[in-house]
């Protein structure tokens, strides 16, 4: 009984902290997701040891001579079982992290060294299954969908990419991919609408133009190379990539932001 009472007190205490907004679960979730599995494991071990010591001490203090041994024995069994479950869970996470990195690196090799788009897509889809909210994998996957002309797949996955945008630069990447989708099929009307939204955003936040993105993948793709070099769509896409990578001259930059995209 003493053990159950102490656990009840702890749970009630945590619920009370959350009720008064003294614990931000989402903040802790963001912190944990931003660290490696090994770091998360050692953090859990430290927290687990501290919690076990506190609960064990509480059991010792609250129990009388008749109930001390049964309560401690029950606590040790539950504590051991909980720790074994945590060890198994983190071992599984470590295996999945290794597989994720393997799929991601293989996909990049297939894309950049061999231009095997379907193999790249296959590996990034496997990586996406492991980490559904990983923005980098999703954005790479969507761009290769464009290279491989899988526009329906691109359209179905774009809302998920937008949903998983966190950084301000993520918004720029989403806009770039959507504009590229319009331009690759020469839909200038849709492209102009998104271009105006993108330019308005980058003018408010100029630092978002320092984009960590390799546009050479697009430049080397078959679908881009087969576009009409003198056509408005290809010129616009070419200037868009130069604009986002800050390769335009000051005059060209101002010209692009004024709405003249195909100079």
Residue 164 pLDDT exceeds 60:
yes
pLDDT band at 201 (very low <50, low <70, confident <90, very high): very high
Domain boundaries, the chain: 2-96, 134-257
Closest to 181 measured CA to CA, from 205, 138, 202, 152: 152
If one counts every other C-beta atom within 10 angstroms of the C-beta of residue 18, the result is: 12
Q: What is the per-residue pLDDT across 129-138, written as a single tens digit (0 to 9) for each? A: 988 889 999 9
Say which range, 15-19, 75-79, 112-116, has the weakest mean pLDDT. Answer: 15-19
pLDDT of residue 114: 75
pLDDT of residue 143: 97
Better pLDDT: 106 or 86: 106
Residue 15 pLDDT exceeds 60:
no
Better pLDDT: 173 or 14: 173
Total residue count of the chain as it appears in this document: 263
pLDDT of residue 212: 84
Residue 233 pLDDT exceeds 80:
yes
Q: Each residue of 229-257: b (16+ CB within 10 Å) or e?
A: eeeebbbbbbbbbbbbeeebeeeebeebb
Using an 8 Å Cβ cutoff, are 104 and 127 in contact?
yes
Q: What is the per-residue pLDDT across 81-91, written as a single tens digit (0 to 9) for each? A: 877 777 777 77
Residue 176 pLDDT exceeds 90:
yes
Q: Count CA atoms closer than 13 A to 68's CA, side-chain side.
A: 7
Residues 6 or more apart whose CB falls under 8 angstroms from that of 153 comprise 145
DSSP structural state of residue 205: -
CA distance 177 to 244: 12
Residues 6 or more apart whose CB falls under 8 angstroms from that of 13 comprise none
Residue 113 pLDDT exceeds 90:
no
Residue 33 pLDDT exceeds 60:
no
Q: Is 246 left (phi over 0), alpha (psi -120 to 50) or beta?
A: left
């Amino acid at each position: 009984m003493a053990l159950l009472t102490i656990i009840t007190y702890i749970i009630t205490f945590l619920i009370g902290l959350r009720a008064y907004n003294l614990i931000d679960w989402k903040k802790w979730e963001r912190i944990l997701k931003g660290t490696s599995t090994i770091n998360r494991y050692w953090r859990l071990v430290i927290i687990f040891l501290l919690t076990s010591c506190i609960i064990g001490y509480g059991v010792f203090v609250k129990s009388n001579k008749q109930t001390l041994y049964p309560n401690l024995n029950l606590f040790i069994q539950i504590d051991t079982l909980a720790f074994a479950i945590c060890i198994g869970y983190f071992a599984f996470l470590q295996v999945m992290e290794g597989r994720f990195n393997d799929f991601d690196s293989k996909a990049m090799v297939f894309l950049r060294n061999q231009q095997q788009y379907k193999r790249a897509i296959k590996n990034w889809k496997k990586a996406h299954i492991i980490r559904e909210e990983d923005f980098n994998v999703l954005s790479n996957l969507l761009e290769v969908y464009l290279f491989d002309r899988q526009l329906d797949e691109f359209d179905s996955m774009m809302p998920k990419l937008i949903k998983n945008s966190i950084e301000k630069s993520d918004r720029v990447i989403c806009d770039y991919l959507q504009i590229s989708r319009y331009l690759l099929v020469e839909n200038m009307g849709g492209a102009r609408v998104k271009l105006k939204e993108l330019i308005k955003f980058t003018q408010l936040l100029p630092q978002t133009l320092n984009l960590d993105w390799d546009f050479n993948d697009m430049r080397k793709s078959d679908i881009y190379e087969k576009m009409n070099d003198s056509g408005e769509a290809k010129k616009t896409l070419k200037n868009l990539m130069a604009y986002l990578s800050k390769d335009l001259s000051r005059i060209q930059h101002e010209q692009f932001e004024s709405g003249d995209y195909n100079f």
